[in-house]
Structure 1
Amino acid sequence: MRVTRVLIEGFRGWGHLDVRPGSHVLVAGVPRAGRTDLITALARVLDPDAARGAALSDLHQRPIIPDGADPAAAEAGDDVAEEQAEAVVEAPAADVACAGVAAEEDAFGDSGATPQAPPAVLQRVEAAQVEVTLTDFDPDVQQLLDGVLEPLEDSGCASEDPDASADAPLCARLAYRLSYDEEAESLESVVYFPARSNPTLGQYSRVPAATRRMLPVVTLDAGQPLQLRAGAGLRRILDERAAKAGAAAFDALGQAVAKAVSALSADPAVAEAINAVLAVGGTGERIGDAPLTAEQVGFHAEDGSVAALLRTLRATLHLDAGGMLGLAQHGSTVSAVLSMAEAMLLSTVPGAVVLADDFGDQLDAPATEHLAALLRARSGQVWLSTRRPEAARAFEPTEVIRLVRHGGVRSHHQLTKIVDRKALVAMRQWHTQLLAALTAPTVAITEGPHDVAVLSMVDRRKPPFSLPLSAHGVRLVASGTGGEGGIGQIPRVASLARQLGFRVLAVIDRDKDSAQTSDELAKIQATCDAVVRLPPGAIERAMGDGLPLQALAHASATLTEYGIPDPMGGQLTEAAVTNLCKVIHRQGLHEQFLEALYAAEPKAHEPPVISMTLGLLAMAAGPSYSGKALIDVPTMARPAGT
């Protein structure tokens, strides 16, 4: 069985969502974009036990404009951001670094100077509605749903055409409706068949809980592993596989414990200690009808039952030279792997729809990918929500539904099948580049890996008062690795990122004007939200612009450690700097050169052009940015006398 459509209206943070998966589904995206809400909505329809979690907050709240409010006030912040962007770009070279810091703080909201829109007035919807379309039933389930089956269209929706082909596959729609009765101050929910109901008139053909329990649907709920207490995963597995043998084993445990405790009570050392207590002030003679001695004192676990004993048992494992240790002492990953293994064993229902939220949170990377691949292979259809890119590696790119949140509005994005040969080259970077940015709102695409290395190194060495790109939700990626990179690949990677709902920025070199460069720039701007362009001379020149020649010469001299002559040879000239840039580019010594710059005394040699570029990226990363689409980073003059 599989789900062909999920239609959500007014449930939690979703005002509207219409998802039509083709096969398996990996739900990922930025925080607060609705991953858990989507999995919960599915469970409310398909799992009869999930309705117990209903709350008033499940009803979506829509913002409304209050009477007398100024609709233009909400746009004030955008206008201010644009003015700041222009001021930074047009500032004199000496003031650029300070302006970059100020713009970055303002973009992030630290300055407090941006006018705030009036608080939104929220109105709760009358009812939340989740409709799920199912198909590919086995014969038993199809017979169970006889009377509510409908023809299925290629779009994944149930057909409303009375003349639909008799050969069309069959589907069934189940819907969950949640409303709030203000007079009774209570939530009312119903799961019904839309094909035989009329919600407008309050007429519902309810889906019996027994029918939903017959559907092959499994919700993974990983808990503490290897527990033998009633209701625990291992106990359920034992009861399903060998209930009588398990009961006999527990009876034997009870008898053995009773015998051992009896022997403990009769032990001379224990008896002597008990008698000593009872002898104090004649206690043993006063508290009973007859004098009490150690022979009349026994012990048992809590209420005396085996169940009480099983609740106290904890698994121990012998995994290495450390010997037999408690499960907790082996680390959280071991517990998480065993817990997921139990959950998967309990979910082995042929052809089932498997639901799991926050998959892989406690797993290491290989285990996350392996178990996700195992679930995908064994399920009729799996719906996993995750924060882990490793889980997405087990899925086809077209099976990933990425949820995003721009300006407080949620949306979903999914790749379509790519047949264009050139676009396939960009698709290769799904795993190598974009997958690592799965939960980031924004990606900044550079021309190649050296650009990423330089920008990343300067970004992570920012002073404490300056926020890194990660604080603005930006992930740096290269447009290619090796020979497939370059400015010509940026539009293809950007188009792929846009399909997945990223806000897309680009960092490019400022080449000499020509018809080719103008065409390349136009293509990049057409696929990106904003473009930051370095000064003439590419990333190698940008690393040294604005720094004293003595600092560059000192850092250049350290490159001899890598078996090459000193590129500047101690010469304090611009020609020597040009040769240095060529050597760094040819030898790929970008990070090594930066390391030498940062190690120099005095330690004030942060590349100002690169720092400015990072500040502009941070400013353009916000969805409210409305400044220039092409931001040129100015060239910075060297300090006088250097």
Structure 2
Amino acid sequence: MIETSHPTKKGLTLHVTQLRAVDFRGWIDLDLRPRGHALVVGEPRAGRSDLVNALRRVLDPRSTRNQPSTVDIRQTLVAGGSAGTTSVVVAPHAEVEVTLANLPNDVEQEADGALEPLLPDGTVDLSGNAGPGAPLGLRLAYRVDYDQATDSVEHRVYYPILSDPATDKFVRVPTAVRALLPVVFLDSARPLQLRAEGLLRRLVSDNDPLSSAAALHDLETEVAAAASALSANAAIEGVLDALVDDSGPARRLGDGPVTAKDIQFLPEDGSLAGLLRSFQPVLRLDDAGPLPMDSHGSTTTAVLSAAEALLLAASTGGAMIIGDDLGEGLDGPTTEHLASALRAGAAQVWITTRRADAARAFETAEIVRLTRHSGTRQVHQVQPPADRKEAGLHRHIQGQLLPALTATTIAVSEGRHDLSALGAADRRRTSPDMPLAAHGIRLISADTGSGGGTSQIPPVSKLARQLGYRVVALVDGDPAKHSAGVLTDIENECDALVRLPDNMAVERAILAGATAAQIRAAAAVFSDYGQPDPTLKKPDEDVPDAVMKLLHSKGLHEQFLDALLEETGTLPPVLVSALAAVSLCGHPGYSLLKRIDLTDPTATA
């Protein structure tokens, strides 16, 4: 279903400039200021859906028709006495406040006494010294109160500028004002609904009110006539008369004798609303013939829902579109296409997603990432690049950070070879060891396409931390590459640093613990990829260096690792230690050594 307010004047671009929430659901104190559109991503349980619900409580004209619930008020567990019991404490109230800019003319007229001057950043100027030319905005707030003594809950939407919650004075926002806001709540479950609250009904009525009303009246009349004819059918009437015969159980069914003529068959309650609720779209999309919407799958419903939303946006000159979990159940290209279409066709979109495909349709500045690994929910936005170098660095967001949208921790390796070797080892770990993904960790490379290395780890780590990731750096033990300040620079931009043993790069780490004979046998795999076996005619003592040289120049780390695993039966112990250290440091609760220097467990004393 897509829910919408009435469309308004064309050419206006209503948008939210600030969203605040205090003690609303899991949010203690949210202050979000979007930079245009808002694509909301992040960790599980970090508040994506609660953010959409916060907007719904304020902007949906139907939000206060339902009974209020303590679900909307933040609740905490408090430890009890010596018995170790706990109790749930509900905050006294929750509030959500939304600031709107570029108001439609009819909204300005209806809310004239509640308009407030805005600062250049879109927030309300509360100084009292705003200039006469300052643009006007509108603050709307939703508040739900819980009275513990009476165990009662009350809610309302009000104008903050005209109200004083401390003295229980609230000037409520008329439903008509919210109904004038061109806002669409996107839900891909039920498009093409002709019932009163369906978007299709709204679009049809707005397109031609007289013809659509006449068509619906004709439908009601004709269905009623057809139902009467059905009830009067001789076969049906005969059975009904037998059922309600006065000599049987139905003797006292009514005030007097009941006959078949007293029974009618109508859709639901016989009203037009009931009739339209029973009408559901049936589509013919292929040779399978006409099938109900559910039979066509999630892609069809999502596409049609987006199409309805965009049609409304076009008819109003740009509506605000709000939706949760875009892309669920969809393929990647369709997810990206829908996200791109919504962003291009709306004045402003607030979309949450767990899919990197949706994120590709948005600018870096429009990404809002939510986290909770620090113990409380937090909001993160990337700072705009200050120069060309930083702009190039932002390629990491689309290429490597966005695929880790729901991860807690990013482990940054030096380059592509390190990523290949460590990733291959991670995928091949077996129980009781668990892969990095089981710890909420995503392994990436500091290589932006023009080379990686330790010097690239600090800026990449800084970018990842701006998005709220916990960051662990994983570097080799080559002292020649580490100037006095390099490791310090990395530590300053990371939450933890794991360093391979002294004088050991990832290529040597792969070989640690393997014999010359095992390395020779594994090196045969190089010929499968058009590379000569570097161990041929080499004495045993030169075999490791020969293989490391080829790996460093040609890659094939994963392929060689697979072949070596066949020979040794175990993963390289140094790589196992490195992954274990990353898993340890990547946990949000880790607070021990910030830097872990690994040792070679295969080295002889």
Please indicate, yes or no, whether the TM-score normalized by the shorter chain is above 0.5. yes
Contact 1:141/1:215 (CA < 8 Å) preserved in 2?
A: yes
Q: 2:72 aligns with which of 52, 58, 68?
A: 58
Deviates more, 1:494-503 or 1:233-242: 233-242
Distance 2:270 2:78 in 1: 61
Q: Counterparts of 1:621 and 1:310 in 2: how far apart (Å)? A: 54
Report if aligned partners of 2:79, 2:85 keep a CA contact under 8 Å in 1.
no
Distance of aligned partners of 1:326 and 1:209 in 2 relative to their CA distance in 1, 3 Å threshold: closer
Structure 2 gaps of 5+ residues are 1-13, 251-262
Counterpart-to-counterpart distance in 1, 2:326 and 2:389: 34
Matched, 1:19 2:19: no
Distance 2:296 2:172 in 1: 48
| Stretch of structure 1 that moved more, 417-426 or 395-404 | 417-426
Check conservation: 1:553, 1:572, Cα contact below 8 A.
Answer: no
Mark the CA change 1:311 to 1:153 in structure 2 (over 3 Å): closer, same or farther.
Answer: closer
**Structure 1 residue 188 displacement after superposition:** 0.8
Which residue pairs with 1:32 in the alignment?
45
Q: Report the Cα distance in structure 2 between the residues aligned to 1:63 and 1:387, rounded to whole angstroms.
A: 28
SS across alignment from 1:207 = coil
Secondary structure of the 1:50 match is coil
Structure 1: distance between partners of 2:174 and 2:225: 46
Instruction: Give the Cα–Cα distance (whole angstroms) in 1 for the partners of residues 129 and 443 of structure 2.
Output: 53
Please name the residue that 2:307 is paired with: 341
Paired residue type of 2:47 = G
Letter of the structure 1 residue corresponding to residue 128 of structure 2: P
CA shift, 1:485, in A, is 2.1
- Aligned counterpart, 1:457: 424
Q: Which residue of 2 aligns with 1:637?
A: 602
CA separation of 1:238 and 1:166: change in aligned 2, threshold 3 A: closer
Distance in 1, Cα, partners of 2:16 & 2:197: 29
**Residues 516, 543 of structure 2: 8 Å contact kept:** no
CA distance in 2 between counterparts of 1:203 and 1:255 reads: 52
Deviations 1:164-216, CA, capped at 9 Å, x for gaps = 22222212221111101234432111221111111111111211111111122
How many angstroms apart in 2 are the aligned matches of 1:172 and 1:6? 12
Residues 557-609 of structure 1, C-alpha deviation per residue, up to 9 Å, x if partnerless?
121122222122275724111110111121111121122234x257x232222
Q: TM-score, normalised by structure 2?
A: 0.84
**Change in 2 beyond 3 A, CA 1:128/1:308:** closer
The question of whether the paired residues in 2 share the 8 Å contact of 1:548 and 1:639 is answered with: no
- Alignment counterpart, residue 578 of structure 2, candidates 603, 613, 637: 613
| 1:607 maps to amino acid | P
**For 1:14 and 1:490, how far apart are their aligned partners in 2?**
33
Once the two structures are overlaid, the 10-residue window that deviates more, 537-546 or 137-146, is: 137-146
In 2, are the aligned partners of 1:180 and 1:186 still within 8 Å (CA)? yes
1:359-390 Cα offsets, whole Å, 9 max, x none, are: 22232222222222222222222111111122
Aligned residue type for 1:488: S
Cα distance, 1:351 vs structure 2: 3.7
Cα deviation, residue 407, structure 1: 3.8
Match of 1:221 among 159, 169, 187: 187
Paired with 1:336 and 1:209, the residues of 2 have a C-alpha distance of: 29
User: 1:350 aligned to 311, 317, 320, which one?
Assistant: 317
Any residues of structure 2 matched to 1:126-141 within 5 Å, and which?
A: 126-141=92-107
Tell me how far apart the structure 1 counterparts of residues 142 and 592 of structure 2 sit (CA, whole Å).
Answer: 44
Describe the SS at the equivalent of 1:158.
coil
Partner of 1:143: 109
C-alpha separation in 2, matches of 1:231 and 1:208? 19
Compute the displacement of 1:300 (Å).
Answer: 8.6
> Does residue 122 of structure 2 align to residue 156 of structure 1?
yes
Letter in 2 for 1:16: D
Equivalent of 1:124 in 90, 100, 105: 90
Compared with structure 1, are the counterparts of its residues 134 and 315 closer, same or farther at alpha carbon in structure 2 (3 Å cutoff)?
A: closer
**Which letter does structure 2 place at the counterpart of 1:541?**
R
* Paired residue total: 577
Instruction: Give the equivalent residue in structure 2 for 1:440.
Output: 407
Alignment of 1:491-570 (within 5 A): 491-513=458-480, 517-535=483-501, 536-569=503-536
**C-alpha distance in structure 2 between counterparts of 1:501 and 1:307, whole Å:** 48
Find the aligned partners of 1:465 and 1:524 in 2 and give their Cα distance: 31
CA RMSD between the two structures: 3.8
In the alignment, the residues of structure 1 paired with residue 200 and residue 128 of structure 2 have an alpha-carbon distance, to the nearest angstrom, of 50
Quote how far apart the aligned CAs of 1:313 are: 6.2
Secondary structure of the equivalent of 1:409? coil
Going from structure 1 to structure 2, the CA distance change for 1:54 and 1:35 (only over 3 Å counts) comes to farther
- Residue 323 (structure 1) shift: 5.6
Cα distance in 2 for residues equivalent to 1:521 and 1:476: 19
Task: Describe the SS at the equivalent of 1:406.
Answer: coil
Unpaired segments ≥5 residues, structure 1: 70-117, 279-283, 289-296
Q: 1:627 to 1:150 in 2, by over 3 A?
A: same
Give me the TM-score of the superposition, normalised by structure 1: 0.80
- 1:583 is the counterpart of 2:550: yes
1:459 shift after superposition: 1.4
How far apart in 2 are the matches of 1:228 and 1:550?
A: 75
Q: Secondary structure at the match of 2:112?
A: coil
Provide the identity percentage: 44
Residue pair 1:152, 1:168 contacting (<8 A) in 2 also: yes
Query: Aligned-pair distance for 1:56?
Result: 0.8
Contact 2:325–2:351, Cα closer than 8 Å, also in 1:
yes
AA in 2 matched with 1:613: A
Matched residue SS, 1:433: helix
Structure 2 CA distance for aligned equivalents of residues 486 and 423 of structure 1 = 17
1:160/1:479 CA distance change after superposition, 3 Å:
same
Whether the aligned pair in 2 keeps the contact of 1:389 and 1:438 (CA below 8 Å) is yes
Distance in 2, Cα, partners of 1:119 & 1:621: 32
Matched, 1:169 2:135: yes
Match of residue 373 from structure 1 = 340
| Matched AA of 1:57 | V
Matched, 1:413 2:380: yes
